[in-house]
Structure 1
């Protein structure tokens, strides 16, 4: 179940099922959220978990304020989420989304009681930063420092810092975005990458039971998207992480080219 990078954009049926389904579902909710009535019901605010309004901890990530808000989040999430789903399984990734939303949401709420008690947030941006941070942790194990050349100068950036750089850039370009929410997403991604969230996952037999119950609708996905089953994912989750940067460097070294170019990663 090897992952390819960058992803093939020629056809949607090359994409994992949840990576395709989540943008579609959230877009439908965006259309239904006329007048922000759904956002008002499910947006997360600092007092929510303490008032046992727990639905907000899971569902706030599904709603967006505008089309641009939705589009930027889905665009930034597509690649890291697809890589994760291909190596961890579709249902497992769904569970991961819920855990990331809840753990980041709790952090946001605890801090918010002191600094922004009346602020409500929605959107996938925290999850975007969680997946970026997860990838940063895994890349750090292979390449602790990322080095590139800019205007004849060598610039070195600790790999673990890259999500924080994206948070800073986002805060500057989008001053109305939730800085504390993004930082909560980053810290949650670090926890995921370091393995501290493993204890919160259900046993594989529970995921297998879910797949058996959903066998008929899952079979309907053949030819539309790629569904990654738990039995296959169990094996791939136990395999050592393969660095995306190392693969890219090896490919560049083995392929002659008339010039060198710098790559950029887009985040929101």
Structure 2
């Protein structure tokens, strides 16, 4: 452990950051901008957080803004630390346009709607939530499903535990160890990640034919640095089936890029 620390090379982190794809950079920049703005503008958290009773026709924007908002510096820092490697992996697999469309649309709207439904109808509460950890657990659940296809179980003692349950264990640990976390919010994010990993909501992704036309018309690959095109994705639009491409199946179903989130979704 000490030797690994002594061999730590900041240049590798710098190189990794400079190689991040475009959508990952953009979303991270917006998260940082929201944190800075929330410090300068005290009214912003109340305006942007997902407060179930405050969501109406004129405030539907809350379903898109709450993942960018954080309670404090450490909340934002650790969420970014967890989010970036997972998001980079997702964008490298599906491309920049698909990633941007999903994370500025359904991947915020659906977990938020599930949270409002659970909080208001089932729990009869009105707890506000905020934080990128909703996306962290969404991405972890997606990675867990990919891992499950190639490695269905891990063994603790004599007990076989399905690998797809890993994010659920992490959510429970975080809810016990980190104060003021939203267990319901994290579970809603993970639920959408499982649905995506099972390919049940892949129809939410824009049609690939249209994306190719947009890319070619606007020459996005030539104009935008770090852009990941539809035709340059690592595994293809919907992944590679292990039976059809064994050389890639191990990579596609490899270990999760980040093992957990240590921060809360909201206060």
Please say which of residues 126-135 and 89-98 is displaced more in the overlay.
89-98
Task: Choose from 256, 259, 265 the match for 1:265.
Answer: 259
Confirm or deny that 1:103 pairs with 2:110: yes
Q: Contact 1:76 / 1:266 at 8 angstroms: preserved in 2?
A: yes
Structure-1 residue corresponding to 2:190: 186
In 2, the alpha carbon distance for the partners of 1:245 and 1:169 equals 27
Q: Report the alpha carbon displacement of residue 142 of structure 1 after superposing the two structures with TM.
A: 0.9
Structure-1 residue corresponding to 2:164: 160
In 2, the alpha carbon distance for the partners of 1:160 and 1:91 equals 27
In 2, the alpha carbon distance for the partners of 1:209 and 1:47 equals 41
Q: Report the alpha carbon displacement of residue 232 of structure 1 after superposing the two structures with TM.
A: 2.7
Structure-2 residue corresponding to 1:198: 202
In 2, the alpha carbon distance for the partners of 1:130 and 1:17 equals 20
- The 5 Å alignment of 1:70-149 reads 70-97=76-103, 98-114=105-121, 115=123, 117-147=125-155
In 2, the alpha carbon distance for the partners of 1:125 and 1:79 equals 13
Q: Contact 1:47 / 1:117 at 8 angstroms: preserved in 2?
A: no
Confirm or deny that 1:29 pairs with 2:29: no
Question: Where does structure 1 differ by over 6 angstroms across 4 or more consecutive aligned residues?
Answer: none
Inter-CA distance 236–245: structure 2 relative to 1 (3 Å threshold): closer
Q: Report the alpha carbon displacement of residue 32 of structure 1 after superposing the two structures with TM.
A: 1.3
Q: Contact 2:34 / 2:68 at 8 angstroms: preserved in 1?
A: yes
Inter-CA distance 95–185: structure 2 relative to 1 (3 Å threshold): same
RMSD, matched Cα: 2.8
In 2, the alpha carbon distance for the partners of 1:15 and 1:144 equals 30
Q: Secondary structure at the match of 1:237?
A: coil
Q: Report the alpha carbon displacement of residue 161 of structure 1 after superposing the two structures with TM.
A: 0.9
Inter-CA distance 83–240: structure 2 relative to 1 (3 Å threshold): same
Confirm or deny that 1:67 pairs with 2:70: no
Q: Calculate the TM-score normalised by the size of structure 2.
A: 0.78
In 1, the alpha carbon distance for the partners of 2:259 and 2:63 equals 29
Q: Contact 1:139 / 1:244 at 8 angstroms: preserved in 2?
A: no
In 2, the alpha carbon distance for the partners of 1:87 and 1:234 equals 5
Q: What stretches of structure 2 of length at least 5 have no aligned partner?
A: 1-11, 242-248, 263-267
Q: Report the alpha carbon displacement of residue 247 of structure 1 after superposing the two structures with TM.
A: 5.5
Structure-1 residue corresponding to 2:245: none
Q: Report the alpha carbon displacement of residue 205 of structure 1 after superposing the two structures with TM.
A: 3.9
Q: Secondary structure at the match of 1:47?
A: helix
Q: What stretches of structure 1 of length at least 5 have no aligned partner?
A: 1-7, 249-262
Q: Secondary structure at the match of 1:157?
A: strand
